[in-house]
């Protein structure tokens, strides 16, 4: 899914669309059913009225077609005037009449339709009973009523007279009423849509406002503001969700407070222990200096024991110094004191103090100066170079150059390199690559302290594999 496009039909849009669809569907169903009911009632009323009127007229006709037994079409008693009068009696507003009697045909005045407009099927049915049908003739709606006139004989039998009547009743007025009704329903549907949209937006806002507040509160909680709480209104599902959020936030705040307290206690413990160890370590270091001077005059076993003690005391001293430095960084008491430093001189001094000058190749442009904390810069370089000398292979090289963005220092060895799966962990505290390095002279804190000091400058340290060896790159931005 493309997150940018998934809107993204959001929850608000889905609520509005669903509400509008329901409202429009309901409105369309009501309007459609209402229209059909009105249309059926209106047309049935027009049909029933026209059929009843035609029946009444036919029952009242005085033409002598029912005298004696039956006078058949050839009877001369039925005159042309009689046929014209009957046609005119069936005529009326918006009506047209066609009358056939034998081979004679009469039309009401103003009739524009003819027998050709009468469907053949209806003409056949009209010979036996009264029928009607709605038609669209020349784009106009009509009701066609057709029947053959029947009369009673003296014996009471119903016999056809041979006279057939077709009456066209215009439904134009009813069609106009229906057209106006359709327009009114369309307008009401538009009004319903506007009302539904307004109600949907208001409802969506009222529904989504608590959700938005929950989202904002969750983000605030994720940003560390653990005292974030929300007011609970009502007793619905959103109120229950808000109450659950508040309970979760309270539990999280309590847990984090306890963890922070434990972390602060552990930091104070490490700092206190480290400071307490400095005094005996100072005395032990002084004694080791004396033992080192006397080691050559001691028996071989005693001299070997002295070397072991001296090495372990030095290792313990480095560990205590690193622990003290780590506790300062963790507690936030580490202070950065920048000054303009000759980078080449600072790097040379770092190597010379530790006796690494002959073991490390240094490449720095003459006169390269940069604003940084010289003590912390020394700690960064010392840890990286010491790591390269202890766990890499010669030659070890240190290069420094000025970039537009800041200062870049690289430390590279030519050893076997760090295993690729260990690269993400090299800056973790007390992490050592391989079981064989568990008893190395390092404390396991050097690289993490170097990284923390670089970040204190606003910079970074990254590690990458080379062929052969490993390269650490320090970047410190301009202040």
Clarify whether residues 56 and 67 are in a common domain. Answer: no
- Whether residue 74 lies inside any domain: the answer is yes
- The pLDDT tens digits for 311-323 are 777 777 777 777 7
Crossing angle of the two packed helices 300-331 and 237-294, in degrees rounded to 10: 150
Higher pLDDT, 8 or 265: 265
Range of the domain at 299: 279-331
Strand partners, 160: 150
Q: Which of 59-63, 117-121, 211-215, 397-401 is predicted with the least confidence, judged by mean pLDDT?
A: 59-63
- Whether residue 213 lies inside any domain: the answer is yes
Q: How far is CA 347 from CA 166, 287, 309, 352, in A?
A: 119, 31, 31, 9
pLDDT band at 161 (very low <50, low <70, confident <90, very high): confident
pLDDT at residue 6 in the model:
44
- The pLDDT tens digits for 457-477 are 999 999 999 888 899 999 999
pLDDT at residue 199 in the model:
82
- The pLDDT tens digits for 340-376 are 999 999 999 999 998 898 899 999 988 899 999 998 8
Q: Using an 8 Å Cβ cutoff, are 170 and 95 in contact?
A: yes
Backbone angles phi, psi at 409, to 5 degrees: -125, 130
Clarify whether residues 88 and 188 are in a common domain. Answer: no
Q: How far is CA 230 from CA 125, 148, 209, 210, in A?
A: 80, 85, 12, 9
- Whether residue 234 lies inside any domain: the answer is no
Clarify whether residues 152 and 67 are in a common domain. Answer: yes
- Rounded to the nearest 10°, the torsion over CA 450, 364, 418, 377 is 0
- Whether residue 260 lies inside any domain: the answer is no
Higher pLDDT, 445 or 348: 348
SS3 category, 282: helix
Question: Which whole number is the average pLDDT over 304-317?
Answer: 75
Q: Strands 140-152, 95-101: parallel, antiparallel or unpaired by DSSP?
A: unpaired
Clarify whether residues 390 and 451 are in a common domain. Answer: yes
- Whether residue 226 lies inside any domain: the answer is no
pLDDT band at 241 (very low <50, low <70, confident <90, very high): confident
CATH of the domain at 446: 3.30.565.10
Over the Cα atoms of the chain, what is R_g? 54
Clarify whether residues 40 and 67 are in a common domain. Answer: no
Crossing angle of the two packed helices 237-294 and 172-222, in degrees rounded to 10: 30
Q: What total number of domains does the chain contain?
A: 4
Clarify whether residues 373 and 327 are in a common domain. Answer: no
Clarify whether residues 410 and 286 are in a common domain. Answer: no
pLDDT band at 7 (very low <50, low <70, confident <90, very high): very low
Can you tell me the distance from the alpha carbon of 44 to that of 36, in angstroms, rounded to the nearest whole number?
Answer: 12
Quote the Cα angle for 396-400-401, to 5°. 150
Q: Strands 396-402, 360-364: parallel, antiparallel or unpaired by DSSP?
A: parallel
**Element containing residue 75 per DSSP (H, E):** none
- Whether residue 262 lies inside any domain: the answer is no
Clarify whether residues 163 and 104 are in a common domain. Answer: yes
Clarify whether residues 445 and 399 are in a common domain. Answer: yes
- Whether residue 229 lies inside any domain: the answer is no
Clarify whether residues 18 and 74 are in a common domain. Answer: no
Clarify whether residues 396 and 369 are in a common domain. Answer: yes
Clarify whether residues 151 and 182 are in a common domain. Answer: no
- Whether residue 408 lies inside any domain: the answer is yes
Whole-number percent of the chain with pLDDT over 70? 84
CATH of the domain at 96: 3.30.450
């Amino acid at each position: 899914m493309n997150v940018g496009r998934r809107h993204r039909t959001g929850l608000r849009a889905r609520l509005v669309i669903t509400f509008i669809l329901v409202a429009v569907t309901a409105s369309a169903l009501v309007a459609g059913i209402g229209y059909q009911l009105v249309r059926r009632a209106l047309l049935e009323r027009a049909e029933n009225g026209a059929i009843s009127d035609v029946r009444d007229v036919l029952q009242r006709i005085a033409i002598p077609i029912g005298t004696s037994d039956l006078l058949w079409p050839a009877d001369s008693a039925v005159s042309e005037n009689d046929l014209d009068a009957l046609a005119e009696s069936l005529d009326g507003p918006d009506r047209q009449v066609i009358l056939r009697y034998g081979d004679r045909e009469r039309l009401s005045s103003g009739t524009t339709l003819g027998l050709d407009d009468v469907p053949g099927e209806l003409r056949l049915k009209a010979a036996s009973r009264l029928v009607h049908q709605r038609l669209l003739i020349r784009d106009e709606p009509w009701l066609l009523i057709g029947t053959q006139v029947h009369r009673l004989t003296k014996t009471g039998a119903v016999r056809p007279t041979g006279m057939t009547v077709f009456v066209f009743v215009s439904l134009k007025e009813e069609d106009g009423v229906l057209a106006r009704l359709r327009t009114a329903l369309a307008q009401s549907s538009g009004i319903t849509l506007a009302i539904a949209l307004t109600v949907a937006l208001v409802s969506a806002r009222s529904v989504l406002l608590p959700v938005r507040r929950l989202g904002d509160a969750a983000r605030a909680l994720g940003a560390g503001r653990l005292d974030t709480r929300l007011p609970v209104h009502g007793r619905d599902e959103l109120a229950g969700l808000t109450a659950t959020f508040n309970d979760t936030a309270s539990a999280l705040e309590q847990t984090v407070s306890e963890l922070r307290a434990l972390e602060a206690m552990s930091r104070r413990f490490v700092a206190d222990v480290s400071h307490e160890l400095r005094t005996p370590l100072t005395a032990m270091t002084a004694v080791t200096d004396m033992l080192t001077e006397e080691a050559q005059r001691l028996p071989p076993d005693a001299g070997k024991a002295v070397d072991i003690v001296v090495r372990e005391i030095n290792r313990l001293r480095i560990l205590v110094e690193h622990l003290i430095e780590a506790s300062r960084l963790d507690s936030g008491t580490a202070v950065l004191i920048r000054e303009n430093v000759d980078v080449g001189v600072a790097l040379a001094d770092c190597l010379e103090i530790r006796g690494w000058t002959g073991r490390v190749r240094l490449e720095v442009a003459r006169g390269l100066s940069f604003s940084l904390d010289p003590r912390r810069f020394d700690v960064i370089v010392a840890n990286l170079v010491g790591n390269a000398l202890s766990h890499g292979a010669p030659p070890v090289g240190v290069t420094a150059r000025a970039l537009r963005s800041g200062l870049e220092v690289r430390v590279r060895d030519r050893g076997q390199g760090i295993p690729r799966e260990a690269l993400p962990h090299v800056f973790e505290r007390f992490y050592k690559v391989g079981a064989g390095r568990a008893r190395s002279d390092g404390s396991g804190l050097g690289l993490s302290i170097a990284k923390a000091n670089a970040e204190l400058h606003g910079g970074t340290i990254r590690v990458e594999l080379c062929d052969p060896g490993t390269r650490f790159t320090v970047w410190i931005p301009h202040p």
